[in-house]
C-alpha cells in the first residue's frame, strides 16, 4: 500500500511540475489539445492512471479499516 502512495504522490508531483513548466515557458493549448500531440497522450495517460489507481487505493484503505474494526 505504501508503494502505491509513493506512485500516487510522484504522479501528482509530475503533473504539478508539468503545469508549472507550461505556465513559465508558455504553451499553446490548441497544440496540446491536438489529438496527435504527445502532450495530449501524456495527459490522457495521467488521467487514466489517476482514474484507476486513486479509487483503487481509497477502496483498499477502506477495506483495511473494515478489517481492523473487527
| 3-41 tens-digit pLDDT | 777 777 877 787 787 777 777 767 666 666 666 777 777
- Name residue, grid cell 482514474: 51
pLDDT at 52 over 70: yes
pLDDT at 65 over 70: no
More confident residue, 22 or 70: 22
pLDDT at position 34 is 67
Residue spans of beta strands (DSSP E) within the chain: none
For residue 4, with 0-12 CB atoms within 10 Å meaning exposed, 13-18 middle and 19 or more buried, which class applies? Answer: middle
* All three cell numbers of 69: 474494526
Amino acid at each position: 500500500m505504501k508503494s502505491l502512495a509513493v506512485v500516487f504522490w510522484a504522479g501528482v508531483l509530475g503533473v504539478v511540475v508539468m503545469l508549472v513548466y507550461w505556465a513559465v515557458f508558455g504553451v499553446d493549448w490548441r497544440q496540446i489539445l491536438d489529438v496527435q500531440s504527445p502532450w495530449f497522450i501524456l495527459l490522457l495517460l495521467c488521467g487514466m492512471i489517476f482514474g484507476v489507481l486513486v479509487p483503487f487505493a481509497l477502496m483498499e484503505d477502506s477495506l483495511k479499516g473494515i478489517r481492523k474494526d473487527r
